[in-house]
Chains A and B, each alone.
Chain A
Amino acid sequence: MNDTMSIPHLIMSASTVVQLVMLILVLGSILSWVVIFQRTFVMRRARTAHQTFEERFWSGVDLNELYRETPSEQETQGAEHVFRAGFREFNRLMAKTKSADAILDGVQRSMRVAWSREEERLTLHLVFLATVASASPYIGLFGTVWGIMGSFQALSMAQQATLATVAPWIAEALIATAMGLFAAIPAVIFYNRLSSESDRLLGKYEDFAEEFHSILHRNLQGRSEAGAA
């Protein structure tokens, strides 16, 4: 192991194509890690926010008070967003129609829209992570194949085919594969982890939406019975 076999030296002495491949892989790795960190923070924050909201929601507070706590112009996230969208629609429809089915349909629709917005927000950039995870091994393999092609071309010109003449080329070519794997492995792991996290959060939102829907339904049912009586 001498100086010519060190990894920086090998990277510097690689051919242009291999260097380009390495650059792409390094960029992919950095961006995937940016996405990983950002998504992790987003997920953690969404989880804690959901916890606090659920606690508050099930603490027996009046729904009107809960709705009025946050000003309407402020963006809300997660289950709160779903709740606000549904409750706003419920209040608006209550003033216009007496039909419970129409009100519940409108509330469900608006809550579904809010839920899909939340889904989009949570799974943002996870596709990029999936792309890096699946493509970077192939990109690294391409760099390796290209480098080994170059090594064999150089070998055909050499008088003596010793291991010492081939070794630097192959080492340099294999660096591309190593970098591809270096980018792909965390991307795969964190894609699975983050997508499962977002799935779980979205499931919770869906559960909350159903529960809220049942509360509203119960409310409407009592009111229609009272109106009928």
Chain B
Amino acid sequence: MARRQRGPSRSNDKPVGYGVPTLLAIGLHVLVVVLSLVTLPQRQPVDAESTSIVQATLISTETTTDQAQRAEEARARAAARQAEEEARQEEEARQAEAEEQARAEAERQAAEERAREAEQQQAAREEEARRLQEARQEAEAEAQRRAEEAERQSRLREEQEAERQRQQEAAEEAERQRQQEAQQRAEEEARRQREAEEQRQREAEEQRQREAEEQRRREEEAQRQREAEEQRQREEEAQRQREAEEQRQREEEAQRQREAEEQRRREEEAQRQREAEEQRRREEEAQRQREAEEQRRREEEARRAAEAASQGLDRAIEGESDAVANARQAQEAANSFINLVRRAVEQAWVIPPGASGGLAATVQVQLGPSGELFGATITQSSGDGSFDRSALQAVEAAAPFGELRQLPPAAQRDFRQFNLRFTPGDVR
């Protein structure tokens, strides 16, 4: 018996190790973790059921036909947008073509405009030219008259000179009689030289006078011309003509007269500036006209798109059943959004403790383009102020409905405003 009992006592003598307890402890913890992971998903559907007690439903106020019209409007809008896009694409294509021919076109346009301008101004210019020609003829006549006068004067002066020479010759003869011939000759020569000099001086004087006269005349003429130009408001052509005249006059006249030159230069400069200004103005006008044309073209395209849209609307009104089907489709597409909104509002809704099951409030919700809340108003009160407030607070708490942006653009506008009906159901 003692022998038999020694066996187990021997095994008991071996000290208890830590391997098995460690394994057991770790296994226990793993079991706990696994159980917590397994039981959690089971709890989730229960929670979902508990939240679905709240009944916040989307009530659309529009009738079916109304919706159809709305859908058709949306379709028409889409068509318009498409047409617009097409037009834009065409325009882009045209622009692409135009990119190659852009300068040519611009030049052509500019040329057309210039031609139109020229046509408009042609008559005036012709009148100007006529008037100018008349003035020129007058001026020429005057110039001829003056030239004749000057000739007459010069002839007279020559005669006087000849007389004077003759007198001088007589005096010389008298002197020659008194003095030696060589001296006389020298003196004569000297005198002749002096005379020549004097003559030259006189001639120069005459010339100066003539030039001064010419200058005066020129200035008068220029002033007259300028006045005429100002009256006509067509400076450019006149300026060019005046320049031509001045050029002619310059060729005719002496090169001195710094004042005249300076004046002319100044005038030229002013003219150039005016010309440049004119050029710029013309270019600006051309640009404006081009832009206006572009604008017109765009407007025309928009009108065409609008016409297409209105045609689409007509077609929509004709095919009512088709529209109804489309409306139903849109409704289905938007159902996900409705569900999202409803769930968000349900989660955010804190039902006041005193609310009974029979209460019902309708809240009209207005959303911004990106889903933000613009306004929430009670359209149908439940009669319980705290209940209404809780409904409004629920909408405000759930407010940014960012899912609106994920909807198709046509549906987005329909859901910018919708109604939510709050009924507590069998809560409590």
Q: Which residues of A contact B (CB under 8 A)?
A: 1, 6-8, 26, 29-38, 41-42, 45, 48-49, 52-53, 55-56, 59, 61, 69, 74-77, 162, 182
Contact = CB atoms under 8 A, between A and B. Distances in A.
B13 A76 contact: yes
A123 B9 CA distance: 21
Contacts of B28: 33
Contacts of B44: 1
Interface in B9-24: 9, 12-13, 16, 18, 20-22, 24
Contacts of B37: 6-8
A33 B25 contact: yes
B6 A38 contact: no
Nearest to A78: B12
Interface residues of B, number: 26
Interface in B371-419: 397
Contacts of A41: 16, 20-21
B25 A34 contact: yes
A69 B2 contact: yes
Given A6-B40, A76-B13, A34 B22 contact: yes
Given A7-B36, A7-B40, A53 B9 contact: yes
B16 A56 contact: no
B47 interface: yes
Interface of B: 1-2, 5-6, 8-9, 12-13, 16, 18, 20-22, 24-26, 28-29, 32, 36-37, 40, 43-44, 47, 397
Nearest to B22: A34
A14 to B, nearest CB: 16
A37 B47 contact: no
Nearest to B399: A160
24 contacts: A1-B40, A1-B44, A7-B36, A8-B37, A26-B29, A30-B26, A30-B29, A33-B24, A34-B18, A34-B22, A34-B25, A36-B21, A36-B25, A37-B25, A41-B16, A41-B20, A41-B21, A49-B9, A49-B12, A52-B8, A53-B9, A59-B1, A75-B13, A162-B397
Given A33-B25, A45-B16, A61 B36 contact: no
Contacts of B22: 34
Contacts of B18: 34, 38
A70 to B, nearest CB: 8
A61 B16 contact: no
B9 A1 contact: no
Contacts of A77: 12-13
B15 to A, nearest CB: 8
Contacts of A31: 25
A196 B8 CA distance: 25
Contacts of A49: 9, 12-13
A29 B29 CA distance: 8
A49 B11 CA distance: 10
Given A7-B36, A37-B24, A52 B16 contact: no
| Most chain A beta carbons < 10 A, residue from B8, B20, B25, B28 | B25
Nearest to A75: B13
A1 B5 CA distance: 60
A6 B42 CA distance: 12
Contacts of A53: 9
Nearest to A125: B18
A77 B16 CA distance: 12
Nearest to B17: A38
Nearest to A33: B25
A34 B16 contact: no
Contact of A38 (B2, B12, B13, B16): B16
Contact of B21 (A7, A34, A59, A61): A34
Nearest to B1: A59
Most chain A CB neighbours (cut-off 10 Å) among B5, B12, B22, B36:
B12
Contacts of B1: 59
Contacts of A162: 397
Contacts of A30: 25-26, 29
